[in-house]
Amino acid sequence: MAATGNILFSGVGGQGILLASEVTAYALLAAGYDAKKSEVHGMAQRGGSVTAQLRYGDKVYSPLIEPGKADILISFEMMEAARYLPYLHQESKVIVNTQQIKPPSVAMGQVPYPANVLDAVSSLGIQVVSVDAFDIARDAGEVKAANIVMVGAMSAFLPMGVEVYENIINTRIPERFREVNMKAFAAGRKITA
């Protein structure tokens, strides 16, 4: 494990990216790391591209990930994974929700949704894990838990055990959503573990 790890979360406003990055950050803190998370508010919340950046290590200074230094890119929407290629390096892990959300120009039929968008990533020789988080979350009982499915899928690449996450879901998530989120997490974890 490198002294510092960088996780870039990407997706579309409203997909639960902030909660997903929050759960991951708490897990890292519980495992004894220093962690820093940065996000952008305002305009970005109206269905635009959204990112959250999470850095961890013994001591983290900058809240921002340098280009070429993201160890994990976790994208909650397919095309948004390809938007951040300059942040990746050869050993990066890319975890992608295969759900497609059409940006305005696509929804209006002006341009097509880019075909084979993930090939752009894998052709660079970077490991890509595709996750059908929407379907998996629906099976777990709530489509909105797709973000936690993604957290589960990513957890196998991070140094903490499952109990740490379960603990966080138990303490940080409102009771009525706990069971669904536990299931969603476990189902996501199964994909990569």
| Residue ranges that bind other proteins, judged by CB under 8 A | 12-13, 22, 25, 29, 34-49, 60-64, 66-69, 79-80, 82-83, 85-86, 88, 102-109, 111-114, 117, 120, 124
Rama region for 41: left / alpha / beta (φ>0; ψ in -120 to 50; rest): beta
Minimum CB–partner distance for residue 87 and other proteins (Å)? 8
What's the CA gap between 61 and 125, in Å, rounded? 30
Of 74 and 186, CB closest to other proteins: 74
Q: Which amino acid is at 40?
A: V
Minimum CB–partner distance for residue 86 and other proteins (Å)? 4
At 10 the three-state DSSP class reads strand
Of 117 and 156, CB closest to other proteins: 117
63 φ, ψ (degrees, to nearest 5): -80, -5
Of 136 and 191, CB closest to other proteins: 136
What's the CA gap between 185 and 177, in Å, rounded? 12
Angle at 138 between CA 133 and CA 143, to 5 degrees: 75
Minimum CB–partner distance for residue 67 and other proteins (Å)? 5
Of 45 and 170, CB closest to other proteins: 45
Of 46 and 175, CB closest to other proteins: 46
Minimum CB–partner distance for residue 11 and other proteins (Å)? 10
Minimum CB–partner distance for residue 170 and other proteins (Å)? 20
Give the HSE-up count for residue 45: Cα atoms under 13 Å, Cβ half-sphere.
Answer: 6
Q: Which amino acid is at 168?
A: I
